[in-house]
Structure 1
Amino acid sequence: MQKRPNKISRSRRKNSAQTIFTRFMLIVAFFILWIGGIGVRLVHLQINQHEWLAEQAQDQRRNQVKSKQLRGTIYDRTERALAMSVQAKSLFADPAEIEDVEGTAKKVAAVLKLKPSDVFNQLTKAKVENKRFVYLARKLDEDAAEKINDALKNTDLRKFDEPRFAGLHWKEEQKRSYPQKTLAAQVVGFSNAEDVGSAGIEQSQEGLLHGAVIKKWQDRDRLGRVYDETELEEDERELPKDVVLTISNSIQYKTEQALEAGVKASNAKSGMAIVLDPKTGEILAMANYPTFDPNRFNEVAPESLTNRAVQSMYSPGSVFKLITYAAALQENMIKPDGEIDCRKGFIEVGGHRFNDPHATKVMSYGDAFAVSSNYAAIKTALGLGKDRFYNYALEFGFGSPTGIELPAEARGQIRPPGTWFGDSLASMSIGYELNVTALQAASAYA
């Protein structure tokens, strides 16, 4: 007996095939739509967002760094360096890159010989405040930097720049060096940690010495290695300039040695000395005692930083008698070999008695000056009168700054005649009731 075909089975196979085909077409359609969507997105990115994407890519691989040109050099008159700048490195931390703050603090403190608690507190505070830059060590030379690199090397860390330690980096800076150490320290001065002049020539000539800030674009690969560097052009960049002083290194050294010996011999606390060329007025030496080493200015007592030759005032005493005699000579009132009777031994002016142990005889004005006679100087000043005496004192530069290119120069002090007392003219003629600087006195004598 012959069986009939199973129509139900055929129908099911047909439906199953149809279902598979439908699903396949759906998958194909999905892939077509997916690829089409990607294509549309790519076209959108390439055409509509090309510039934005290019900027984003550039920002990720490029960063701007700043550095400063080396500060100008300060020379003596023979072009021997008194102050100069050298390249240095400063170690800093980026707290955002540090996961183990405590471990980092202990390691860094051990290498830099610091207290672990201080480093830990510094890093923790910066991390809380979202700071990305914390100095750990400033202005180290190349040898010191290499030792730190070796001590902090972590071979398991994939980091291109030194040191090979998470969150630590070097910053290129400069360090001021004073090769002559204490020589002319108050004249040369020093610059601070930010390379800005803070005293002496370093301060007064800041506008010439300072180096311009240089901006550079650095392109880095994914490991942080610099493969291209471009310096930005700046039309108004000011190049640092060197400064040459009139100071002579050898004369300055001998002057400082003599000054120190004199201060110690007289049991004085301090002293200053100036050497000028009488023909040109150039300052060949300007010494102060005590002095200091600008390389270690943070350790110096504040009083040692003062340049007493230009910043301190004092009563000149008998030094000022030369001004009295010079004014009288200019007025043709006296002659060096002219005589003056000093046998009285004292003189009274305005109710004030001025004694003179040297006034015992008739002597020439030259001899009176040589023995520093009070009587002769006062008698001469009284002949000049208040106004002429005062005007000559001003012409010699007293009461006004000399104009030397050093900061904080004192003006000195000499009161106008309208404010004088009855004995003021006599007192001023022998160097009292007025104040001068050592530079003013030296300039007047030169």
Structure 2
Amino acid sequence: MSFLKQNPRLSIVLAIFYFLVMVLVARVAYLAVFSHDFLNSEGRKRSTRLHETVPVRGIIFDRFNEPLAVSTPVSTLWVNPKQFTPTEQQILSLSALLDMDASRINDLMLNTQGKSFAYLARRVTPEVAGKVVMLSIHGLYERQDYKRFYPQSSMTAQTLGFTNLDQKGIEGLELMYDSHLSGTPGLEELTLNLRKRVTREILVHKPVTPGDDLHLTIDSTLQYYVEKALRKALEDNAATSASAILVNARTGEILALATVPSFNPNARKSFNPSAIRNRIFTDVYEPGSVIKPFSMAAVLTAGVVDKDAVIQIAPGFIKINGYTIRDVGRDTQLDLAGIIRRSSNVGMSKIAIPTGGEAISRMLSELGFGKNTPVFFPGESVGSVPTRRVWSDIATASLSYGYSLSVNLAQLAQAYTVFANDGDLVPLSIIKNQIQPPRNVMSPQVANSVLDMLVHAVDGPGAGGKRAAIEGYVIAGKSGTSRKASSGGYQSNSYRAMFVGIAPANAPEFVMAVLVDEPTANGYFGGAIAAPIFKEVLEDVLRIRNVPSGQSQTLPAVQVEST
């Protein structure tokens, strides 16, 4: 004490020191008692991070639970450029692991735009991401993500579509059912160490909800056979494209649909953007002679033309309102069934005109032409059916044999279900267990009479669809050929070849519509180009589905009474 008395200045300094210590202790005690929650919150802000967890996208299955689209785990590597300070050695290691130019990594370090977030690499395999994390680079973070993968490669590609990098559907069913498949992101609170690295999850603010799965009506086995036949036809006929849709005749379920050329959604950098289009729904065209069965149904329904009428066809052409309509064949006269069997434009025009364009137009509209199919596929074109106050004879005639209207291939397949179901139209569906009830469009007598005509259009003398015949089975169908239109009229050497058929016709199971666009080898008629595709596919389909052959040749067709 004497020492302190001899050094008054030291006493003052010590007194001030003790006073400050007491103040500091008091302040700490005060904060610990009265500001605990505030301090805890501030500390958590500096050592934790809110993190959005990405939901896994739902799986798309075929009708037998074969996966068509799945999401596989990948990692996203991102950086906070304000914190990102790798060493030269770490930059070299990153460049090697991520196959990335070192200059890009250096650009992230410069952070000329003042960002606090930037992607380093996306869709990185977990193995590579793990090696990157082991480099312990300050300001580099990993996030679990998912990558969409399509196990069957190009098969069903235009129907499934694909997603973008953020797992959002941008084409096909991936787009159409994006909200169903996407799920809901979660929110987690992560704790960080002094190096700003995640150490453990501490709190889940919002649980992640995975996307719902989607089950299609597609049969992958039948899809394979359809695509196989289309690829062969595309090459054999040197065509621009080929499309087909196979439908369950009783339920309207789409069992297979394809367009070739196709693309591999797993390798998007290598495909042609034009191959993305699902032509079965998006492309419309004048259907030509495949529309004649519906015109015949309108004629039989109206009853203006006698069911036993024999129509003069010679000399093979007819002039209507200054226009000349010609037949390919050289028939002298034909009955109503013969008009369908021989695909006579002259005969169809002669029976359509007294029936009237309005009756045919109304029939086509009731069959779903000019309207969306119940599938409502993204980008679907509905086409058009002409309506007029006054129908000229040439307008009626051209509509009756498939010109002046536009349809898509899905509409055609759906419309032909009316002949397989006693006049009831069965709506198409592509999602399993979403079958819609049929609706009546024409009488059973009319539908079955036309079905009988379609059988003869395959197996009758001079039938245009004879190449669709399958030994042991009753096949019904109609071929068609249409010239492609251009801005200046019709192109002289550009055609579409079509065939729509029903198998077996006496116990309908399947409807299939086929279109080959611009065949340039082996001709261009639907009976020569599209009908063989139907035969090739249905031979496999009937075998795979164990549909008995050698069934009775007797059809349920009945004749309508003339009025």
How far off is 1:333 after superposition?
Answer: 4.4
Give the drift of 1:343: 2.8
Alpha-carbon distance in 2 for matches of 1:144, 1:365: 71
Over the residues paired in the alignment, what is the CA RMSD in angstroms? Answer: 2.5
| 1:368 paired to 2:339 | yes
Q: For the Cα contact (< 8 Å) 1:221–1:227, is it kept in 2?
A: no
Listed as ranges, the matches of 1:235-250 within 5 Å are: 239-250=210-221
Alignment size in residue pairs? 415
Counterpart position of 2:205: 232
Give the TM-score of the pair, scaled to structure 2: 0.69
SS of match in other structure, 1:96: coil
**Is 1:212 the equivalent of 2:196?**
no
How far apart in 2 are the matches of 1:330 and 1:421?
A: 21
1:83 corresponds, among 59, 63, 69, to: 69
Residue matched to 2:112: 128
**Alpha-carbon offset, residue 260 of structure 1:** 1.2
Contact 1:201/1:405 (<8 A) preserved? no
State which of 273, 278, 296 in structure 1 corresponds to 2:244: 273
Deviations 1:251-299 (A, max 9, x none): 1110011111112211111121011111111111111011011112243
User: Structure 1 residue 442: deviation in Å?
Assistant: 1.3
Give 3-state SS (helix, strand or coil) of 2:339's partner. Answer: helix
Distance 1:280 1:64 in 2: 50
Higher deviation after alignment, 172-181 or 422-431? 422-431
> Is it true that 1:165 corresponds to 2:170 in the alignment?
no
| Residue equivalent to 1:139 | 123
Q: Contact 2:156/2:258 (CA < 8 Å) preserved in 1?
A: yes
8 Å Cα contact 1:315/1:433 also seen in 2: yes
The aligned amino acid for 2:45 is D
Secondary structure (helix, strand or coil) at the match of 1:197 reads coil
Report percent identity of matched pairs.
Answer: 28
Q: 1:199 matched to which residue of 2?
A: 171
Which position in structure 2 is the counterpart of 1:10? none
Between the aligned partners of 1:64 and 1:286, the Cα distance in structure 2 is 45
**3-state DSSP of counterpart to 1:229:** strand
**Greater helix percent: which structure?**
1
**SS class of match (2:82):** helix
Which range moved further: 315-324 or 341-350?
341-350
Please give the TM-score of this superposition, normalised by the length of structure 1. Answer: 0.86
Cα distance between partner residues in 1 of 2:76 and 2:210: 24
**Which residue does the alignment assign to 2:286?**
315
Any residues of structure 2 matched to 1:93-112 within 5 Å, and which?
A: 93-99=79-85, 106-112=92-98
The 3-state SS of whatever aligns with 2:406 is coil
- Residue aligning to 2:505: none
Secondary structure in 2 aligned to 1:194? coil
| 1:146-195 residue CA offsets vs partner (Å, 9 max, x unmatched) | 4xx1xx5xxxxxxxx54423443322111111001111000011011111
Aligned CA distance change for structure 1 residues 134 and 86 (closer, same or farther; 3 Å): same
> Which of the numbers 159, 180, 202 marks the counterpart of 1:187?
159
Contact 2:86–2:137 (CA<8 Å) still a contact in 1?
Answer: no
Query: Aligned residue for 1:392?
Result: 363
In structure 1, what residue type is equivalent to 2:151? P
Moved more, 380-389 or 92-101: 92-101
Cα separation, 2, equivalents of 1:260 and 1:18? 105
Return 192-201 or 43-52, whichever deviates more.
Answer: 43-52
Q: Distance in 1 between matches of 2:123 and 2:4?
A: 80
**2:471: which partner in 1?**
none
Partners of 2:37 and 2:325 lie apart in 1 by 92
Distance 1:411 1:426 in 2: 22
Instruction: Write the mapping of 1:354-433 to structure 2, written as runs, cut at 5 A.
Output: 354-418=325-389, 423-433=394-404
Q: Which runs of 5+ in 1 are unaligned?
A: 1-15, 153-160
Distance 1:137 1:332, change over 3 A: same
Query: What residue identity is the alignment partner of 2:249?
Result: P
Give the Cα–Cα distance (whole angstroms) in 1 for the partners of residues 4 and 51 of structure 2. 67
Shift of 1:355: 1.2
Match of 1:157 in 2: none
| Match of residue 410 from structure 2 | 439
Partner in structure 2 of residue 52 of structure 1? 38
The whole-number CA distance in structure 2 between the counterparts of 1:383 and 1:123 is: 81
| SS state at 1:58 partner | helix
Quote how far apart the aligned CAs of 1:43 are.
3.4
